[in-house]
Structure 1
Amino acid sequence: MEVQHQETENKGKFYINDGNEAIAEMTYSKAGEQKIIVDHTEVNDQYRGQNLGLKLVTAAVEMARKNNIKIMPLCPFAKRVFEKTAKFSDVLW
């Protein structure tokens, strides 16, 4: 299961599909050119416990590093991941 990324002018999302069905999704809003605000993470109940939420956050961190962007995790799940994962602190806003 591969994390995919989709972005518009003001918003974006990282998501994982199983066939044609979205099973995990993390959404964000852009706050200027160099910042994003993660506002929601959701994993289908059938897929919980498989670290899919962590995969979504990790993909966002990798994108942020590549593009010199900072992340503000307003979503409670993403915020906990950032608090527990010191190696993500370089992109924390």
Structure 2
Amino acid sequence: MIMSEVTNNTARSRYEISVDGAVAGYSQYVMKDGAVVFTHTEIDMDYEGQGLGSKLVRGMLADVRERGLKMVPQCPFVKEYVKKHPEYADLRA
């Protein structure tokens, strides 16, 4: 089983997913009017096809919810994920 962790790298304005301590992917964001605007998501080619993109988005959205924020999914990957998972619809700004 792959050990991965999602963290918010506020210095770089992105959520990162790490596998065994190495950054395997990230999702860039900007803060606008109290909402997290997700602009671009990328998983390193070496880690594609392992479900890390979905795990990254789940972790990001859990953090947004925990912090009481809203989000705007501009990134196509995040937008599609939210469309397929209506349990996150309440987070839309």
Deviation at 1:17, TM superposition (A): 2.6
The corresponding residue for 2:5 is: 2
The corresponding residue for 1:14 is: 15
Contact 2:27 2:38 in 1 (8 A): yes
Q: Mapping of 1:54-69 within 5 angstroms?
A: 54-69=54-69
Q: Mapping of 1:1-93 within 5 angstroms?
A: 1-8=4-11, 12-19=13-20, 21-32=22-33, 34-93=34-93
Identity of aligned pairs, percent?
27
Query: What RMSD over aligned residues (CA atoms) do the two structures have, in Å?
Result: 1.6
Q: Which amino acid aligns with 1:80?
A: E
Report the Cα distance in structure 2 between the residues aligned to 1:2 and 1:91, rounded to whole angstroms: 22
Report the Cα distance in structure 2 between the residues aligned to 1:65 and 1:21, rounded to whole angstroms: 26
TM-score by length of 1: 0.85
Deviation at 1:5, TM superposition (A): 1.3
Deviation at 1:88, TM superposition (A): 0.8
Look up the SS of the partner of 1:2 in the other structure.
strand
Look up the SS of the partner of 2:39 in the other structure.
strand
Look up the SS of the partner of 1:59 in the other structure.
helix
Gaps in structure 1 of 5+ consecutive residues: none
Q: Which amino acid aligns with 2:31?
A: K
Gaps in structure 2 of 5+ consecutive residues: none
Contact 2:6 2:59 in 1 (8 A): yes
